[in-house]
Chains A and B, each alone.
Chain A
Amino acid sequence: MRTKPEPVFEQPWHAELFALTVTLNEGGHFSWPEWAQRFGSTLKSHGLAKSLNGGDDYFLAWLDALESFLAGLGVAQVDELDVLKSAWIEAYSSTPHGAPVKID
């Protein structure tokens, strides 16, 4: 009996976030046990309001945990990320459909 096949990552951003975290770990920015602790406590707090299904909400907790972890480590600050996110929104809004979306 086989369980039905499912994609390894449900969304491209899940895969990107996973790979970013692994790369940073291997670049020596944090150990995996340190990361697991951080992520575990974020999962726990996210799970207080509702039971997480292990899909999108799991990776949302992952993203929150990584952003605050990196801010604490001084690797990526919230305001730096906000500026880049706004630049991406602007780029998507002004790029014709079908053309590659880029920021400077």
Chain B
Amino acid sequence: MPHDTSEQHHPHSLLPSDPALRVKALETLLVKKGLIDPKSIDEIINTYENKIGPQNGARVIANAWVDANFRDALLKDATASLASLGLSGRQGEHIVAVENTKATHNMVVCTLCSCYPWPLLGIPPSWYKSDAYRARAVREPRKVLSEFGVHLPEEMNVRVWDSTAEIRYLVIPERPENTAGWSEEELIKIVSRDSMIGTALVVVPT
């Protein structure tokens, strides 16, 4: 059967969207002025699309679960502990770790924009950047959590941490009880991104 190319047959190139054109104009101007290097743009995109993501944070959490000294150091001075693992730099200059316990659940938001610990979790998901989450996480955290499928007992405290451009937070989720004896590599696999933002609990897949 002949391949119908009518849909793909354009006399000229498809025009990108208006914002895409505005970004192109901005990039062209900044390159022309010598203010940016196109290679560094590609390198940054590649880094966040392929290299940095929640797997970094998951490694930290698993390490804290198996090594009490590391956990203590992380809670005391997360920025220094993370730097010792090579997890510092861009938007990770000042990180505070907060630990979930039987009595307290922590969750993180940025009410201003979308401040987030990039070296540990990468680029935030859309819902973290949405108006709904940014406004409601502080106002009605339990309701928001329940929409994420996290139902906490009445007596448990919920603490909401508002990130800023200066301080970003990492939630240390509770280690599931039925993971005794698990290796660090096995633990890394069950630590989800959302559990480190505090909108999920870590559960062992059945």
Interface residues of A (CB under 8 A from B): 1-3, 6, 8-13, 15-20, 22-24, 26-27, 29, 32-33, 35-37, 39-40, 43, 47, 51-56, 58-60, 63, 66-67, 70, 75-76, 80-82, 84-85, 88-89, 92-99, 101, 103
Contacts and interface: CB of A to CB of B under 8 A. Distances in A.
A3 B192 contact: yes
Interface string B5-18: 00001111111110
Query: Closest 4 CB pairs between A and B?
Result: A54-B130, A54-B129, A36-B165, A40-B112
Nearest to A50: B131
A27 B37 CA distance: 10
Contact of A52 (B27, B42, B45, B131): B131
Interface residues on B, range: 35 or more
A19 to B, nearest CB: 4
A93 B12 contact: yes
Contact of B26 (A40, A53, A66): A66
- Which of B25, B29, B114 is most buried by chain A, counting CB atoms within 10 A of its CB? B25
A63 B132 contact: no
Given A1-B203, A75-B35, A84-B28, A92 B130 contact: no
B169 interface: no
Interface in B76-122: 90-91, 112-115, 122
Interface of B: 9-17, 19-30, 33, 35-37, 40-42, 44-45, 48-49, 53, 90-91, 112-115, 122-123, 125-133, 149, 164-166, 192-194, 200, 203, 205
Contacts of B27: 16, 20
Contacts of B45: 9, 15-16, 18-19
B123 to A, nearest CB: 5
